[in-house]
Amino acid sequence: MTHTAPPLVDAGAAIERASFAHIDAHAGPRAGYDDGAWSLVRRLIHTSGDFAFNGLTRLHPQALAAGREALARGCPVVVDVSMIQAGLTPRRLGPLGVTVHQFNHDAEVIRLAVAEKTTRTVQAMRMAWRRGVLAGGVVAIGNAPTALLEVIRLVREEGVRPALIIGVPVGFIAAAESKEELMTLDAPPWIAVRGTKGGSTLAVAALHTLMDRALEGKV
């Protein structure tokens, strides 16, 4: 079944097209990205205003196909912070039937974080696993390296298999290291940004790119 998103406001769509054309003209040689990967990298550049993502962005060979197919099926999306949840547009989520899950404010998550001296985002990823939304879902982490490291641990030690992991946490403590660790996984597929750059807006941009392709039926 092919889903169709409601059209963007004409003026906004025209500005976006002009922005993408500007990026194409000024980004320089693509750092090894094919057209599919470039559509994602270009949106990261558009979102951040930073051409460095032409080179910093890394994609597992199956990342785009896995993300598109999972979202086209209406898989759950698990995020590390509410900023990502707030940034995802209903015009994309609704037609796909995608639900977004974020457990940082759950009372049990808070209790366990205190009791076990971990972060809320670590416990939130464990809760997502226990509630059955991590396996087969798309995980998007834009802020918390500890959340990304916990997902990697769940993959390696518990055999959890998300459909795709988007790992773009921002910061100076463990952010770069957590993304390097993510890129050592053969499975599941992943999308990452090397170094300290990242953030919730980039996670949203990556998800929107994949959702747009799922809505176009490109699976």
50-65, pLDDT tens digit by residue?
Answer: 999 999 999 999 999 9
Q: Angle CA(212)–CA(214)–CA(217) in degrees, nearest 5?
A: 110
Contact 57, 193 (CB under 8 A): yes
The arithmetic mean of pLDDT across residues 143-152, rounded, is 98
Q: What is the pLDDT of residue 181?
A: 98
101 is catalytic: no
Q: Please give the residue that has the higher pLDDT: either 177 or 4.
A: 177
Please tell me which residue in 46, 60, 101, 105 is annotated as part of the active site: 46
Distance (Å, rounded) from C-alpha 130 to C-alpha 161? 13
Distance (Å, rounded) from C-alpha 88 to C-alpha 74? 14
13 residue type, one letter? A
Structure tokens that stand for 219 in this block? 């699976």
The arithmetic mean of pLDDT across residues 149-177, rounded, is 98
CATH topology of domain 56-215: Rossmann fold (3.40.50)
Q: Do β-strands 138-141 and 164-167 pair in parallel, antiparallel, or remain unpaired?
A: parallel
Q: What is the pLDDT of residue 8?
A: 54
Q: Mean pLDDT of all residues in the chain?
A: 93
Edge to edge, the sheet with strand 57-59 lists: 57-59, 190-193, 164-167, 138-141, 77-79, 100-101
Q: What is the pLDDT of residue 195?
A: 97
4 falls in which pLDDT band (50, 70, 90)? Answer: low
Q: Angle CA(96)–CA(102)–CA(108) in degrees, nearest 5?
A: 140
Q: What is the pLDDT of residue 11?
A: 73
